[in-house]
Amino acid sequence: MAFDLYTGIELVSVLFSVFFLVLLMRQSIWCWPFGIVGSALGVVLFVSPEAAVNLYSEAILYSYYVWIGIYGWIRWSSKSNEKIAIVFWSSKAHIIAIGLGLILAPALGYFMNTYTESNSPYIDAFTTVFSFIASYMQARKVMSSWHFWIVINAVSIGLYYSRDLYLYTGLMVVYFALSIVGLIQWKKDNSEEVTQP
pLDDT the model gives residue 124: 86
Task: Return the percent helix, strand and coil in the chain, to nearest 5.
Answer: 75, 5, 25
User: CA of 162: how far to CAs of 45, 155, 165, in Å?
Assistant: 15, 11, 8
Give the three-class secondary structure for 142: strand
195 against 76, higher pLDDT: 76
pLDDT digits (tens, 9 = 90+) for 53-71: 667 777 888 898 899 899 8
- The pLDDT of residue 25 is above 70: yes
Residue 147: CB atoms within 10 A of its CB come to 16
The pTM assigned to this predicted structure is: 0.77
DSSP for residue 158: H
DSSP for residue 89: E
Question: Where along the chain do its domains lie?
Answer: 5-196
